[in-house]
């Protein structure tokens, strides 16, 4: 009887030991799944430090020579005007002249024929400068050139920032800190302890106009129409708990 008792105890001990070993093996091959997933956000307002203004002008003539003489005079007027407003010559870029034949439709009986009507010559001018305020004001006063007889088509200025790389790195660091702070607060409120960072993925870098309802884009919004902008970035972070 005593022999059977000790045998039963030995079998029970073996079963418990085996269960312990199996449990340890399972734990080693199946790590804990408790995780905290957060999204860190960072935003910063900034003012553009580079402006690009573009315009074009055109002339029509029955021959290339007649139209070219007029557009060459326009180019001289445009350059002189910009220099008189304080724009350095090396900031002014005037493109080559584009020459396009023009045709008009003329009815001939029941058909319409394309009849040669002359040549349209056009030229683009561009100003790129870090003197944002000066060029911005110039783009608004460009009607003076139109009054002088230049058939000018002025486009709205485009605003850029030359330190985007530094700004992006700074925002990335701030977004990472924001995500870590959020994760720590969640762990604290759940009576847990924040573990190591398992994964971090940077979101899209967005640039929008300040105080606007401009939509974000999956590919990253890049506003060029506003001088004052807001940059933002997100970081998705996954921590062990």
149 SS3 class: coil
Q: What is the pLDDT along the chain (241 residues), one digit of tens a residue?
A: 444 434 444 434 443 344 444 444 444 554 556 899 999 999 999 999 999 999 999 999 999 999 999 999 999 999 999 999 999 999 999 999 999 999 988 888 788 888 889 999 999 999 999 999 999 999 998 888 888 889 899 999 999 999 999 999 999 999 999 999 999 999 988 888 898 999 999 998 999 999 888 777 677 889 999 999 999 999 999 999 8
Q: Quick one: tokens of 238?
A: 């996954």
pLDDT of residue 25: 46
d(CA 171, CA 193): 27
Which contiguous run of DSSP H or E holds residue 169?
Answer: helix 164-189
pLDDT of residue 32: 56
pLDDT of residue 31: 53
pLDDT of residue 146: 87
pLDDT, one tens digit per residue, over 37-59 is 999 999 999 999 999 999 999 99
pLDDT of residue 15: 38
pLDDT of residue 37: 94
What is the distance of C-alpha 41 from the center of its chain? 16
b/e per residue, 202-219, with b = 16+ CB within 10 A? ebebbbbbeeeebeeeee
């Amino acid at each position: 009887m005593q022999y059977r008792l000790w045998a039963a105890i030995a079998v029970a001990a073996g079963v418990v030991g085996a269960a312990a070993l199996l449990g340890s093996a399972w734990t080693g091959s199946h790590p804990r799944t408790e995780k905290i997933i957060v999204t860190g956000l960072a935003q910063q307002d900034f003012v553009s430090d580079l402006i690009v203004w573009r315009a074009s002008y055109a002339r029509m003539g029955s021959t290339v020579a007649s139209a070219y003489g007029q557009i060459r005079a326009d180019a001289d007027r445009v350059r002189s005007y910009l220099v008189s407003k304080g724009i350095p010559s090396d900031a002014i870029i005037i493109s080559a002249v584009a020459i396009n034949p023009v045709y008009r439709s003329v009815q001939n009986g029941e058909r319409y024929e394309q009849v040669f009507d002359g040549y349209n010559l056009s030229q683009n001018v561009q100003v790129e400068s870090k003197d944002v305020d000066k060029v911005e004001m110039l783009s608004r006063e460009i009607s003076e050139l139109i009054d002088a007889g230049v058939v000018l088509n002025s486009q709205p200025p485009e605003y850029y920032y030359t330190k985007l790389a530094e700004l992006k790195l700074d925002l990335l660091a701030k977004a990472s800190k924001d995500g870590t702070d959020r994760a720590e607060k969640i762990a604290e409120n759940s009576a847990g302890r924040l573990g190591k960072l398992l994964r971090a993925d940077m979101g899209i870098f967005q640039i929008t106009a300040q105080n606007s309802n401009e939509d974000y884009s999956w590919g990253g919004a890049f506003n060029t129409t506003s001088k004052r902008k807001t940059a933002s970035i997100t970081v998705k972070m996954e921590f062990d708990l």
